[in-house]
Amino acid sequence: MSENASSLGALPWSVRPGARTWRCAPAPAEVRDFHAALPGYTPTPLTELPPLAAELRVGRVFVKDESCRLGLPAFKALGASWAVHRALAERATSGEPGPVTLVTATDGNHGRAVARMARLFGQRAHVFVPRGVHRRAVAAIAAEGARVTEVPGPYDEAVRLAAEAAAGPAAVLVQDTAWPGYERIPGWIVEGYSTLCAETDEQLAAEGAARGPDLVSVPVGVGSLAQAVVTHYRSRPSGRTPALLSVEPRAAACVLESLTLGAPVSVTTGDTAMAGLNCGTPSSIAWPYLRGGLDAAVAVSDPDSARAAARLAALGVASGPCGAAALAGVRAALTGGGAGERRAALGLGPSSVVVLLSTEGPAANPHSATTDR
């Protein structure tokens, strides 16, 4: 169980002292070279926002803006491209015939990325979409040339159906969550996300912050991106490492609940505008990294995310509900009742450097107040 799990007012929050001493192996170095060779690759922006630094009473705040990654409105193409590349290369080496159908379940972004990579690599795609994903996000997946199956149940049900559909020899499941017996491809997806972290290091150095961040805030669904972030920062053999904060919707806080209980659990999810984070079960391969390397976890409401997205937009950064969760989580942690205790737990002071991972743009998971989906 985490050493301190509480609501500190109305804030769902868990903190684990000692996470910065946890260590793991690094991601493969060749991932970045693979991405650099893809058509249209360019590092996404790292934008400094001094007004946020003033509001949060820290030294500098940077936003890693994933609103346009390889022509798509979210970071997911990094993981999907590397995993599809590895899976197809393995099939070719073993002499398995092609083409194949790449199958996945998605809250929007990952499925569209898999569909795009299927088209890029000359394969087919079949994408299962749970309830709650906006019709425009579903249409965007179909526009990539994928077959789309809409599921009346939640994300976990869509994952189950996708796994069943991929059982044949002419199909490959490319899922961004893992469970016992299905871990290699999700592991490749996590490796793909390492490019985002490597870019951030280089961009911080160019901005005069070569020491790196003091806090990184990462939105969490099943925890694959957070696993990549933990891997990046906790694989350094020595030297300082930042505090790592995960942020989830209150309606789907499976990682926070798991950290609080000290073991991975599934939660019943509710409706949330943060559709890409609406996941009820942590990835089995992510869990050891989240338990070992996350300093803290927080859950935020839809209004928190909406206010954060509006603030980022006013400062010139286009962020969707999931991407803006990174700011919403830092705001929740660093302001309000109990903020002094939480700042101390994260090791933050007036000169600290904070990095927010804005994982998607507004087009990634469109949301409206209507049930227009």
Give the list of residues 6+ apart from residue 76 with CB closer than 8 angstroms, or none.
69, 109, 110, 112, 113, 176
What gap in Å lies between CA 286 and CA 79, rounded to an integer?
14
What gap in Å lies between CA 167 and CA 165, rounded to an integer?
6
What gap in Å lies between CA 127 and CA 82, rounded to an integer?
18
Residues forming the active site: 76, 107
Query: In angstroms, what is the C-alpha Rg of the chain?
Result: 19
What gap in Å lies between CA 213 and CA 219, rounded to an integer?
17
Q: For strands 60-65 and 353-358, give the pairing.
A: parallel
Question: Identity (one letter) of the amino acid at 7?
Answer: S
Give the list of residues 6+ apart from residue 295 with CB closer than 8 angstroms, or none.
15, 16, 19, 20, 243, 244, 245, 345, 346
The sheet with strand 215-219 has its strands ordered as 4-6, 13-15, 296-300, 243-249, 215-219, 353-358, 60-65, 46-48
Question: Identity (one letter) of the amino acid at 253?
Answer: A
The sheet with strand 171-173 has its strands ordered as 147-150, 124-129, 101-105, 171-173
